[in-house]
Amino acid sequence: MEGTYQQYIAVPAIYATRIPANVDLFHAAPLMCSGTTAYAALQKSDLRAGEWAVILGAGGGLGHFAVQIARAMGARVIAVDSGAAKKELCTSLRVSEFIDITSGTDPVQRTMELTGGGAHAVIVASAHPSSYASAPQFLRVGGTVVCVAMPPTSKASVGGDPNDLIAKNISIQATMVGTLGEAAAVLDLCAQGLVTPVITKFPLEQVSRAIQLLKEGNVVGRAVVDLWS
């Protein structure tokens, strides 16, 4: 069987990345995909220490990495997601604020109050079209939206009146995975204890269930298949 639902796979040496000795394989696996993607997104955001970052979908597989990496960069993080489990996760990651989109609180208005005029960067780690539609509204003048999660429909768009985007000098960036250097960098953050993947393990015979739970958005953090179980 070709693919990676197996214990070992051969790749050209140029594409191999050394895993630090104190990072186990179950944690390295999501770091090499969503962790690297989140790291690349934060690099494109030009976020600096002390600035504000909004992470849309902060409790998900991409989002919880973006939260931790942003904090490792010295940023202040506002996590936007829904549900008690996502709130518990984001709170454990020491975000400055968690905004539950189902609570009745206007996340844009609350962000403006907390930041004194808007965030410096918004990382869209939620694939829901509404996340893309609202993303620019969270920003201050000169802010950056980084598109990461891929919506299930081509009808989704990064919302906003072009006149508003121009007047606020908004930048829109996008990223898909990252470079070998960025993969090594996020593995190093994990080795230092600055980034810890939140994972749910599934045995190989439950891989279909894991995929279904991911589709439903019912996995906190990242699902990892245990091929040795």
Q: How far is Cα 124 from Cα 149, in angstroms, rounded to an integer?
A: 6
pLDDT band for position 94 (cuts 50, 70, 90): very high
- The percent helix, strand, coil of the chain (3-state, each to 5) is 40, 20, 40
Kindly tell me if the per-residue pLDDT of 147 is higher than 50: yes
Supply the mean pLDDT for the chain.
Answer: 92
Kindly tell me if the per-residue pLDDT of 98 is higher than 80: yes
Tell me if 51 is assigned to some domain: yes
Tell me if 204 is assigned to some domain: no
Residue with the larger pLDDT of the pair 16 and 72: 72
Q: Nearest-CA neighbor of 39 among 8, 14, 10, 17?
A: 17
Tell me if 16 is assigned to some domain: no
Tell me if 71 is assigned to some domain: yes
Q: What is the pLDDT of residues 150-200, one digit of tens each?
A: 888 777 788 778 898 999 999 999 998 899 999 999 999 999 999 999 999
User: Bridge-partner residues for 6, per DSSP?
Assistant: none
The vertex-17 CA angle with 12 and 18, nearest 5°, equals: 125
Q: Which residue has the tokens 């939206």?
A: 145
pLDDT above 70 coverage of the chain, percent: 98
pLDDT of residue 91: 96
- Confirm if 170 and 3 have CB atoms less than 8 A apart: no
Kindly tell me if the per-residue pLDDT of 2 is higher than 60: no
State the average pLDDT over residues 117-135.
94
pLDDT of residue 8: 84
Q: Identify the domain containing residue 185 by its residue range.
A: 24-196
pLDDT above 90 coverage of the chain, percent: 75
pLDDT of residue 5: 77
Q: How far is Cα 182 from Cα 216, in angstroms, rounded to an integer?
A: 29
pLDDT band for position 1 (cuts 50, 70, 90): very low
Residue 46, burial from CB neighbour count under 10 angstroms (0-12, 13-18, 19+): middle
Beta strands in 101-191 (DSSP E): 119-124, 139-147, 171-174
Tell me if 227 is assigned to some domain: no
CA distances from 201 to 82, 110, 217, 224 (A): 22, 35, 16, 5
Give the CATH number for residue 130: 3.40.50.720
**The total number of structural domains that make up the chain:** 1
Tell me if 224 is assigned to some domain: no
SS3 77: strand
- Confirm if 129 and 59 have CB atoms less than 8 A apart: no
Tell me if 220 is assigned to some domain: no
pLDDT of residue 209: 93
pLDDT of residue 3: 58
Q: What is the pLDDT of residues 15-33, one digit of tens each?
A: 889 999 999 999 999 999 9
Tell me if 112 is assigned to some domain: yes
pLDDT of residue 29: 92
- H or E element, residue 55: strand 52-56
Q: How far is Cα 215 from Cα 60, in angstroms, rounded to an integer?
A: 12
